[in-house]
């Protein structure tokens, strides 16, 4: 699990991260190694897991994210890869040169900020207004985001140790944007990012934040619908900031990680957008490989999992 992208802001050393693993997460390296080896042996007994990731570092971090619970880890691994088998609109054809993907990347809807905030957390900026409902579908947007997320998180041990910050800038968001998030899309979002993602570790949850910025009043009912899909433990991560209050954002995260447009010193949003377009085009083979990681439902013991099982009958693939 080698790192693909070199971050430059508030980066912790490998030694510092290993120290945090022992002191903050109370990890015993020997015991973790035993648990990971046990998971690798278990994976070999599952015929539908022949095409999932089994490397030690990936499983170690997945196990941490599942709060060191083997049963939860096994259940999450199954769901993590079965959603990839059953949601091709998001997980197939990870090619940054596809026109529908390029439109999202060119708009700069999703921007990992090439580093960490003052508390060492990995920061991603999302600007929903730039997702044009006339030219982009929600599937296009999620595919582009997942491609960026995969590149940014590969080998990013610090993100898996200090947590994440998502800045959701709602300025300029209209009801047309909000209507892109139908109940069917929200169900998929919830399954992929909440149910299947390894984010059960209480330390990671307590460290991570979702900052809502510049939320128009007309969008509040859609935001409340979003909240209704969240587990209670994740609602504690959300913090709504006053409209245009970039000082509060700087106080929370530090100005060195924020783009210039948000009162920071981390270049402009256009510079960051161009950086990520270049990074995606550097790693076509890595992206292609990610689309092969999935369950093989044709050989799953018992009943195969279908899109209806995972996302409900309202799911349209």
- The burial class, CB within 10 Å (0-12 / 13-18 / 19+), for 55 is exposed
Percent of the chain with pLDDT over 70: 98
Q: What is the pLDDT of residue 122?
A: 98
Confidence of residue 316 (pLDDT cuts 50, 70, 90): very low
Q: How far is CA 296 from CA 13, 59, 89, 101, 293, in A?
A: 38, 19, 17, 26, 10
Describe the strand order of the beta sheet including 164-169 as a list of residue ranges. Answer: 110-116, 122-127, 164-169, 209-213, 238-240
- Closest C-alpha among 218, 124, 135, 138 to residue 171: 218
Q: Structure tokens of 264?
A: 């920071």
∠ Cα 261 255 247 (to 5°): 75
Q: What is d(CA 65, CA 237) in angstroms, rounded to the nearest whole number? A: 16
Is the pLDDT at 44 greater than 80? The verdict is yes
Residue 79's CB: how many other CB atoms inside 10 A? 18
155 Cβ contact partners less than 8 Å away, ≥ 6 residues apart = 1, 2, 3, 4, 57
pLDDT tens-digit readout, 154-211: 999 999 999 999 999 999 888 888 888 888 998 999 999 999 999 999 999 999 999 9
pTM of this prediction? 0.93
pLDDT at site 313: 61
Question: What does the pLDDT look like over 232-242, one tens digit per residue?
Answer: 888 888 898 88
Q: 253-263: buried (b, 16+ CB within 10 Å) or exposed (e) per residue?
A: bbbbbbbeebe
Q: What is the bridge-based pairing of β-strands 209-213 and 238-240? A: parallel
Residue 46's SS3 state is coil
Instruction: Quote the DSSP letter at residue 1.
Output: -
Percent of the chain past pLDDT 90, that is, above it, reads: 82
Residue 87: which of 187, 202, 216, 171 has the closest Cα?
187
């Amino acid at each position: 699990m080698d790192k693909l992208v070199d971050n430059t802001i508030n980066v912790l050393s490998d030694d510092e991260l290993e120290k945090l693993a022992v002191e903050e997460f109370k990890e015993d390296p020997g015991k973790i190694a035993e648990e990971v080896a046990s998971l690798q042996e278990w994976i070999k007994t599952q015929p539908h897991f022949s095409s999932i990731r089994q490397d030690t570092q990936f499983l170690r971090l997945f196990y941490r994210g599942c709060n060191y619970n083997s049963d939860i880890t096994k259940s999450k691994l199954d769901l993590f890869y079965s959603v990839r088998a059953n949601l091709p609109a998001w997980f197939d054809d990870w090619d940054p040169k596809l026109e529908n993907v390029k439109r999202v990347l060119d708009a700069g809807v999703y921007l990992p900020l090439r580093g960490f905030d003052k508390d060492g957390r990995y920061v991603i900026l999302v600007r929903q207004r730039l997702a044009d409902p006339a030219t982009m579908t929600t599937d296009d947007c999620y595919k582009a985001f997942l491609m960026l997320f995969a590149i940014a998180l590969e080998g990013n041990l610090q993100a898996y140790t200090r947590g994440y910050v998502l800045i959701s800038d709602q300025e300029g968001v209209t009801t047309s944007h909000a209507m892109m998030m139908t109940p069917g899309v929200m169900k998929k979002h919830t399954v992929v990012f909440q149910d299947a993602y390894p984010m059960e570790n209480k330390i990671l949850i307590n460290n991570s934040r979702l900052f809502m910025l510049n939320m128009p009043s007309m969008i509040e009912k859609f935001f409340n619908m979003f909240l209704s899909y969240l587990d209670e433990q994740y609602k504690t991560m959300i913090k709504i900031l006053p409209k245009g209050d970039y000082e509060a954002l700087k106080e929370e995260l530090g100005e060195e990680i924020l783009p210039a447009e948000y009162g920071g010193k981390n270049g402009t949003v256009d510079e960051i957008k161009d950086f990520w377009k270049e990074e995606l085009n550097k790693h076509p083979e890595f992206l292609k490989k990610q689309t092969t990681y999935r369950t093989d439902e044709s050989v799953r013991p018992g009943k195969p999992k279908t899109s209806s099982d995972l996302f409900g009958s309202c799911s349209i693939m």
